[in-house]
Each structure stands twice: as C-alpha cells, then as structure tokens.
Amino acid sequence: MSDHLATVAGTDVDTRHWIDGRRRASATAFTDLSPIDGRPLASIARGAAPEADAAVQAAANAFPDWAATPPAERARLLHAIADGVHKRLDELAQVETADNGALLRSHRVGVMPRVAHNFRFFADRLLSLAHPDFATRGHTNQVAWRPAGPCALITPWNAPLMLATWKVAPALAAGNTVVLKPAEWSPLTASLLADIAHEAGLPPGVLNVVQGYGTEAGSALAAHPGIRRISFTGSVPTGRAVAAAAARNLTPVSLELGGKSPLLVFADADLDLAVDLAVEQYDNAGQVCLAATRLLVEEPVAAEFTRRLVARAEGLRQGDPRTESTELGPLVHPRQLEKVDGFVRRAVEQGARVLTGGSPHPQLGPLHYRPTLLTQVAQDSEIVQEEVFGPVLTLQTFRTEQEALTLANGTRFGLAATLATGDRDRAARVSARLVAGTVWVNCFFVRDLRAPFGGARSSGIGREGGTWSFDFYCDLHTTVTAPTGWSEHG
C-alpha cells in the first residue's frame, strides 16, 4: 500500500494535500491521533507557505471559469457532491468518529446527513437568489451578487466536516474557488471530501485542501494577498491573529469564535424540560461552541433542579463513541483534556464546589472526562468568564429577572443563549435583552440554514447562513440605468 494512504475504520484516506486536482506531498508530516485510544491514525502531510501559495494560485487560475459557470451547472455539481456524501455516509461517519471521538450514531443520524444538506441547500438557494429591481427618479436599480474570488476557509475540530461544508458549500455556490484548511486534530474527512468533489466532476483548482498547523498553513492563507475572503471558526486568540493578518490586505473576514452561553431557568419553567436542556449541554463531551455552560437558575427551583441534574449527569453512559449506547465520548486530544482539567482544578482552588464529576475518567480511556457540575462560583471567576470547551457546567442562582439578565450578559461573549420559562411575555422580554446571536426558548440547537448565524462581542464578526452567506462570499453589485439616452436602433 502507498505510504500516502492510511486505513482508518476500514476506509483508505489519502494523507496528502489536494491542490489543483492532484495530490501533493510535503517534506514533513505530523501525526494524527485517535481520541478513542490515543493511538496514531495517520501521518499527515504538513503544509506551510509553499503549499498555501500553490493552492491559492490554483484557486486563482480556476476562478474565472468557475465564476462564469452558469448557476444551474454550479448547483448541479453541488448536488452531485451531496450525492457522493450520501453514498459514503457510513464511511465518513466512521472515519470522523475515529478522528475526533464524537459519537458514531450522531455522525450517522445527524451530522453526515447535514453535510449533504449543506450542499443541497446552498445549491438551491443559489438558483432562487434575486433582489427585486427598484426605481429612483425613473432610473432602474439592479442588484447582483458577484463572486469575490479565492476564499480561505479555516475550520475547527469539533465537527470537522459539517462545519467545513457549512463554509465550502456557499462559497462554491457563489462562484468562488476555495482553499480549505482543516484542523490538524481532525483532518481526515476533509481529504475524503476532496475525493468526493473530484468524483462529482468539480473542476481542478475549484476546491483545494491544505493540511497543517494553524501557525503555519493557516497563517500563510490568512496573510495571502491572493485571498479575497477568509472564514474562520475557532478560538478568540486565533481569530484575532486571523483578523490581524487579513487587515494587511483588507481581506473581509467572517469569524465565528468562542462562546460562554447561559441557560436561564425561571421558576415557572417546565422543570423536566429545563433539566433535559441542561443535560444536552454535555453533548460531544461539551466540545460545542454553542453550549450553554452557565446555568442560571431562579432560587425557588434551584435545589430541585440541581438534584435532578446531578442524578442525570451521573447516569450518563460514558465510553467508546462507536458503541450505540454511549452518550458521552472522549475529549479530542491530550492537550484538550489537560486544558479542561486545568480549568476545573483552578476553579476548585478558588472556592468552587464540585457537585459531580470534576476529574478525568482514565478507566474508560486516556481522554475521558467525567461530566462535571460546579457551584459556588463567582461571576468574575475564570470558570464563569472563559470558554472551557469540555463537559463542565457552572450553576449560579438569581432572584429577579434583571439579576438573571445581568448574569447572562456578564461575559465578553455573545454567541447564543437558552431560556426555559412557561411565560410567553417573559420569553419575549428576556430574549430581546439577551446579548446573543441566537436565542433558544424552551429548546436547544434547532438550526435552520435559512437563519443568520454568528455572535456578538468576542464571539465573532459577521453572519453566515441563507442569503447572508452570499452577502459575505460575494461582492454586491448595483447597476443604475437611466430611462433616456438610448438609440432608437439600440
């Protein structure tokens, strides 16, 4: 077998970059570990400035023809990619579970079907994209979306393929070419996506995949003068670095960064529903940017809510993410476990009380962390203010609606918020005052691609989804035509 192929969960994955319709090796490599058992999965080509430059050049060369491709043909190819994803859904699910440790059943039932849906949605949205003409003193205004050019898409490890295609699909639909830089902790399904796109007939150079570290390949792409759009999902510090690099070329950026979202539970809420919502925040071992990790509970129901939540958390089935009954898998990487445990240990040193969890669970594997609930935490403490990105929740109580809002809005983040209440007027009133890109009322993680997605404050810049994606990935173009000046023979 080729040195450039790794067999992962029974599927052969090419570990080289995909540039200009061909595989390209690098002089150096990095090791990709499986969170399930800590063993090496593959040796991955380690790209840097030369590979980034080659990919941007390929994207630039392919751009004129792709931008000129009729929308119906672009849409057809995106649907063909979706068909390819659907055909290989189980392979993609198994490879991604091996690579990032998320639950296999979730990948099969929810995540990979959503990957295909991303392509289908933006393909169809492209064909309905239109702005009505309007008149100004008898002149006609026409608005059009024109593709911007090569796009650098830098994606995270917690939902690798779904979050990558959330960017790739609208960028391609808009007529742009793409250089995708997947996270180094979970690069494998991006390589498979390149194969699927090629098999679907996507022309060379339209989609390129460069693997490597963010400080090398990612930095080179963010600073590249040939890039016309940058979309990044990840941490706040890296987002700042991307924005600084983009600023030198005045490259527009879309940044979806961290979150420290609240879950507000009022005394009039359905308590069973509220506890269900709280337990959902442990999904994917807490490695979800939207997770409502700060539980804010009205005092009259706090004791009962806490009792029920502790019992539910302690009953969660941790283990191998490939097992159907597992509810909580491992963290993605040894560095992530060290980070999560460090947050908890420092919180305890500062006076936090552990109601459940609070430590790794090494009997299950090297990267399992017990679902954790902390109380007696100060609003200005690190554990309340900073994103942990693990199965760690904090619990604070409040007496009044205003106090709940003050606590909820009392961080530098504003990605999302969740609200549990039985009062419709309160739901409307509180939702309007929460600083958050998305507010869920008596539900969680209901996502529709027609809606804008993004955060406020340090949670990011810009919105994507629906027409907002096309607004970002395009240059909006207005033509104003006079009613006079025409030749009678024109």
Q: Which of 96, 151, 184, 289 is catalytic?
A: 289
CB of 368 within 8 A of CB of 323? no
Q: How far apart are CA 93 and CA 100, in angstroms?
A: 11
Longest dimension (CA), the chain: 85
How far is CA 470 from each of CA 82, 125, 193, rounded to the nearest angstrom? 19, 9, 22
Q: How far apart are CA 33 and CA 98, in angstroms?
A: 9
Q: List the 229-233 sheet strands across, edge first.
A: 22-24, 17-19, 207-209, 178-181, 151-154, 229-233, 253-256, 460-461
DSSP code string of 144-162: EEEE---EEEE--SSSHHH
Active-site annotation holds for 73? no
Q: How far apart are CA 277 and CA 472, in angstroms?
A: 33
Q: How far apart are CA 358 and CA 27, in angstroms?
A: 42
Q: CA end-to-end span of the chain, whole Å?
A: 66
CB of 165 within 8 A of CB of 156? no
Q: How far apart are CA 206 and CA 21, in angstroms?
A: 8
Q: How far apart are CA 4 and CA 23, in angstroms?
A: 10
CB of 374 within 8 A of CB of 353? yes
Q: List the 392-398 sheet strands across, edge first.
A: 353-356, 372-375, 392-398, 294-298, 262-265, 416-420, 438-441
What is the number of residues in the chain?
490
How far is CA 256 from each of CA 12, 293, 305, 346, 438, rounded to the nearest angstrom? 32, 18, 32, 27, 13
- Among residues 439, 322, 271, the alpha carbon closest in space to that of 330 is found at 322
Q: How far apart are CA 133 and CA 130, in angstroms?
A: 9
Q: How far apart are CA 150 and CA 180, in angstroms?
A: 11
How far is CA 409 from each of CA 80, 267, 297, 416, rounded to the nearest angstrom? 44, 20, 15, 11
Active-site annotation holds for 338? no
Q: Which of 51, 96, 256, 327 is catalytic?
A: 256
Residues with catalytic function: 256, 289
